[in-house]
Structure 1
């Protein structure tokens, strides 16, 4: 607090922003804070052979939807898993129906990885320039991430902000590109639910590629032996990510009841062994 970390009093209790606390721990240099320990665990896989990320993986995919301030029964809109175009499958789907208050979505999802590095010198140059620009990855509120110009002016980045920023530069260079949201799977038994996004771009060879810029940044920072994984993030798809139909700055779900509050979305995604 003496160094200026903002806080507010609520009912006499000193409260901090959760994103501020994560970022403070992440860059404290102590090595024993919860954010540092969690992210080292998160990226243990990135130092292993990437072959394990290329085969099919099956997930028990469940999402709980909540409508805060619900104003009555109405249809739900949910941006479902979108893995078929990358060779995956979505089966046994139970989609939300008309209702109020809360709903759920469930499916068995098979994700598949594929090594498809970027071939365009222009796309590789733009991606490399971004990675070398020195933006510091931080936890950023989801609503703020959509204002990617503001986020980058602060010298920081996040998966959504980075994907929106890079997609814009790909389009300015003449490529069809869009930031897309999805889920990063198999982390802490499904207990860690972090917003995730990447860029989808049509490369010079006519193949749709994905650039997972934030995961490449984090892997480079948190583990010294992740060069193969970082390269995989620049064009390829890997089986720990489930793409969705949501665009980069859009929410995963909404409820048509008229409530002005955003729908709550909590994913529980567990590997089927």
Structure 2
């Protein structure tokens, strides 16, 4: 199992998960963890117990081939929608959008800057906004967000070629810390990819070909009922017809790996928009939020996005 993934390099690793969590995620006993450690799984001793990076554990589970690990079950459930009719992804959908902001190491009352949902330009709406006010330590953002999908496939043969070349390059999708994803040259040098790293790289290739393109961050909605917060990014590019198109390269990669009958969804990812994604005003390698208190530590952002029926 351990030779199937690339472990998070030490400079980006956060080994805070106790061994008991590793048992739960990987559905194995202590002897199984011993085997993985012997095969190279990095760890640190904390209070006399081994602790691991959660990304390493999730990647081990996802590529274990055992079918019963938490990551395999979660991602299989997550991508069930990708094998269904894509028409379900094109109609309007409302979301109860709530975000909790936490300033770690906060140095006092100060204003917050939050990269809010940016759906209006794609035919969506935002209502009932409660924006974060100046405060100390924590704050929140709330809104009802309506998304809409639309078929707008790439018309540029060059953009489609560049997208196809990336998809066929053989990069393996992995869970990667957000800070490491921004270092997309390192990520790709390891032979792996992620939504932010893929979007930053593809946007760069689009610009090199003469197109206006930018990686943009956002939220992938309805993930296990809002219980799993996955960082997400897409590429926005101005196509030959003058229309801004969205290329969701990582979701196309994941869908291809997790289910064979997702061709229609993968095609939707190459230029079109769909109602399970809420774009934000944040660029691909930027934080969703900052607190102007002077703390140098990043703000923790936890999204809880639930479908409104």
User: Shorter-normalised TM-score: what interval?
Assistant: over 0.9
> Which residue is 1:253 aligned to?
289
Distance in 2, matches of 1:24 and 1:271, equals 30
Indicate yes or no: 2:96 matched with 1:73: no
Give the deviation of 1:224 after TM superposition: 0.8
Indicate yes or no: 2:221 matched with 1:185: yes
| 1:5 pairs with one of 41, 48, 57 | 41
| 2:130 pairs with one of 94, 98, 102 | 94
Indicate yes or no: 2:165 matched with 1:147: no
Aligned pairs for 1:90-239 within 5 A: 90-239=126-275
Q: Tell me the SS of whatever aligns to 1:72.
A: coil
Give the deviation of 1:161 after TM superposition: 0.1
User: What are the superposed Cα offsets for residues 162-205 of structure 1, whole Å, 9 maximum, x if unpaired?
Assistant: 00000000000000000000000012111110000000000000
Give the deviation of 1:210 after TM superposition: 0.3
Give the TM-score normalised by the residue count of structure 2. 0.88
RMSD: 0.4
Distance in 2, matches of 1:10 and 1:165, equals 37
> Which residue is 2:278 aligned to?
242
Q: Tell me the SS of whatever aligns to 1:16.
A: strand
Give the deviation of 1:31 after TM superposition: 1.0
Distance in 1, matches of 2:38 and 2:47, equals 22
By relative contact order (CA 8 Å, sep 6+), the higher-ranking structure is: 1
Give the deviation of 1:13 after TM superposition: 1.1
Q: Tell me the SS of whatever aligns to 1:228.
A: helix
Q: Tell me the SS of whatever aligns to 2:98.
A: strand
Task: Point out 4+ residue stretches in structure 1 off by more than 2 angstroms.
Answer: none
Q: What stretches of structure 2 of length at least 5 have no aligned partner?
A: 1-36
